[in-house]
């Protein structure tokens, strides 16, 4: 039996959940044309759409909000934010941005020339979209799945990296930068080991390529390093985070994840020459250097949140919740990516619903079934989301867990919902798209059910 970690908090303020009935949910999803992004949030029992910006703030964060200084330039809140980011990253220069993709856009504009290659363990969607928009050619070199219990499946394949850099050098191809995404969101939220980060740094030194870390979930990554990597058991999370980020030339972070904030992000670096260029774009697109598109209140929330994310008890609960849900599903015979990563459980819907072909979106079928049967909102990461732009290896459904929001009984409800769906599994049928936009179609597409229990 999976065990749930003790929640390391008491609940002081509550947000009621509405409980529409199954009949109402069926009506809602039909009206939403089977797109869960169109469901009003108050028609959801347990919302696992994303862990980004959906976390609960602590009493210290709310208290910090009251101290916020909303001055346009030089606010005290910026100083506190700057100190917190400097301490988290070990970097000297700090630029605030309103969220992660704004940092990526600035980075792309400043460092990428059209036709440059950019390499990664795996890019997150917004990162690669911003790099592509500047004309870059992306190359992804994730480590090939090794032993099933290898805890660091987010690593880059360092051998392939060296080979690729050698080949590109021989061809006279410029490489603008290498991005390590930690944890590796697009590969199941899998962590990256310190050994892999260090080896990457050495290779990049050899080829004179800048090292960028997309640091959204570095605290969670550090917890995996402390738990599984030799030599780190006695180190603090804070030390491991700083050691990881010190290896990079440039760090970007969406603070909506391990910043434990609802909005915000930053760029951090020691390179004074880059900061001049970044600053120009920051002022142009985001705002003045000491607020970058954020209110003083947001800067305060991030400053406190970053420190709180280093708390080992919190991280044990956080990573433990993901494992609890993953183990519970595995015990029910639901195929999940293993071992589970740091922020979400990824269900292999293609394997669980083998009678539904990829072009009828088995992942979306599961997402809709979870909503109708239990009011649970998840997201498809398969042919509906990616089928237009890239090869889809697996038809996945992601159950992302918001930080400090749900308790064991919410997760037990998700497990119960899967049991309900399992009873109907063979009767479920696929979907077809009836309308879609040219980009990022999953957000706005409309679908219809090809018969089955959820058709009107
Ligand atoms: C790994 C990673 N990088 C970048 C981003 C983009 O951040 P934002 O949503 O704040 O723009 C995300 C968001 O989910 C992410 O998971």
The per-residue pLDDT for 388 is 72
The per-residue pLDDT for 124 is 92
User: Given ligand 1 and candidates 126, 218, 219, 403, which is best to mutate, with the most ligand atoms within 8 Å of its CB?
Assistant: 126
Nearest to 294 by CA among 65, 58, 52: 65
The per-residue pLDDT for 62 is 98
Atom 15 of ligand 1, nearest CA residue: 124
Residues of the chain with CATH 3.40.640.10: 59-308
What spacing in Å lies between the alpha carbon of 212 and ligand 1's midpoint? 14
Q: Residue 185 CA: which ligand 1 atom is closest?
A: 1
User: Given ligand 1 and candidates 254, 267, 344, 398, which is best to mutate, with the most ligand atoms within 8 Å of its CB?
Assistant: 254
Residue 427 per-residue DSSP state = G
The per-residue pLDDT for 404 is 97
Q: Which overall architecture, per CATH, does domain 59-308 show?
A: 3-Layer(aba) Sandwich (3.40)
What spacing in Å lies between the alpha carbon of 83 and ligand 1's midpoint? 23
Residues of the chain with CATH 3.90.1150.10: 22-51+311-449
Confirm if 177 and 212 have CB atoms less than 8 A apart.
yes
CA dihedral 386, 120, 213, 177 (to 10 degrees): -120
List the chain residues with pLDDT less than 70. 145-149, 389-390
Q: Does domain 22-51+311-449 have CATH number 3.90.1150.10?
A: yes
Atom 2 of ligand 1, nearest CA residue: 124
What spacing in Å lies between the alpha carbon of 363 and ligand 1's midpoint? 22
| 293 phi, psi to nearest 5 deg | 85, 5
What spacing in Å lies between the alpha carbon of 55 and ligand 1's midpoint? 14
What spacing in Å lies between the alpha carbon of 100 and ligand 1's midpoint? 5
Give, in degrees to the nearest 5, the angle at Cα 33 between 32 and 35: 70
The per-residue pLDDT for 387 is 75
* Protein residues with CB under 6 Å of any ligand 1 atom: 52, 99-101, 124, 126-127, 181, 185, 214, 216, 254, 256, 265
Q: Is 106 exposed, middle or buried (0-12, 13-18, 19+ CB in 10 A)?
A: buried
User: Given ligand 1 and candidates 50, 53, 96, 101, which is best to mutate, with the most ligand atoms within 8 Å of its CB?
Assistant: 101
């Amino acid at each position: 039996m999976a065990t749930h970690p003790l929640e390391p908090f008491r609940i002081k303020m509550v947000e009621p959940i509405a409980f529409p009935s199954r009949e109402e949910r069926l009506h809602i999803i039909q009206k939403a044309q089977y797109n869960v992004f169109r469901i009003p949030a108050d028609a959801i029992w347990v919302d696992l759409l994303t862990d980004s910006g959906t976390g609960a703030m602590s009493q210290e964060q709310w208290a910090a909000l009251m101290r916020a200084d909303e001055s346009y330039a030089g606010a005290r809140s910026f100083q506190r934010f700057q100190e917190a980011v400097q301490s988290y990253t070990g970097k000297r220069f700090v630029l605030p941005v309103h969220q992660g993709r704004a940092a990526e856009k600035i980075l792309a504009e400043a460092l990428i020339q059209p036709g440059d290659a950019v390499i990664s363990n795996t890019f997150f969607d917004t990162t690669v979209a911003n790099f592509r928009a500047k004309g870059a050619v992306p190359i992804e070199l994730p480590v090939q799945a090794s032993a099933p219990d290898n805890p660091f499946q987010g690593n880059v394949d360092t051998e392939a990296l060296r080979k690729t850099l050698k080949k590109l050098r021989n061809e006279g191809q410029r490489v603008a930068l290498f991005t390590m995404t930690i944890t590796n969101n697009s590969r199941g939220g899998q962590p990256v080991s310190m050994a892999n980060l260090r080896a990457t740094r050495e290779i990049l030194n050899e080829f004179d390529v800048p090292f960028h870390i997309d640091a959204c979930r570095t605290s969670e990554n550090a917890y995996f390093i402390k738990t599984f990597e030799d030599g780190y058991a006695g180190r603090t999370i804070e030390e491991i985070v700083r050691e990881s980020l010190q290896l990079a030339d440039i760090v970007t972070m969406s603070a909506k994840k391990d910043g434990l904030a609802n909005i915000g992000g930053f760029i951090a670096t020691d390179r004074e020459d880059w900061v001049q260029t970044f600053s120009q774009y920051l002022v142009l697109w985001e705002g003045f250097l000491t607020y970058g598109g954020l209110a003083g209140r947001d800067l305060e929330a991030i400053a406190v949140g970053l420190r709180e994310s280093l708390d080992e008890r919190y991280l044990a609960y956080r990573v433990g919740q993901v494992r609890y849900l993953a183990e519970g599903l595995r015990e029910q015979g639901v195929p999940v990516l293993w071992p589970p990563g740091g922020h979400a459980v990824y269900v292999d819907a293609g394997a669980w619903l083998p009678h539904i072909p990829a072009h009828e979106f088995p992942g979306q079928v599961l997402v809709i079934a979870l909503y109708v049967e239990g009011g649970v909102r998840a997201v498809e990461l398969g042919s509906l989301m990616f089928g237009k732009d890239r090869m889809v290896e697996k038809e996945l459904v992601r159950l992302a867990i918001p930080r400090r929001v749900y308790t064991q009984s919410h997760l037990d409800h998700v497990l119960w919902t899967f049991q309900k769906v399992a009873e109907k599994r063979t009767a479920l049928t696929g979907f077809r798209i009836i309308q879609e936009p040219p980009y990022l179609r999953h957000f706005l597409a409309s679908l219809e059910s090809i018969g089955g229990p959820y058709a009107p």
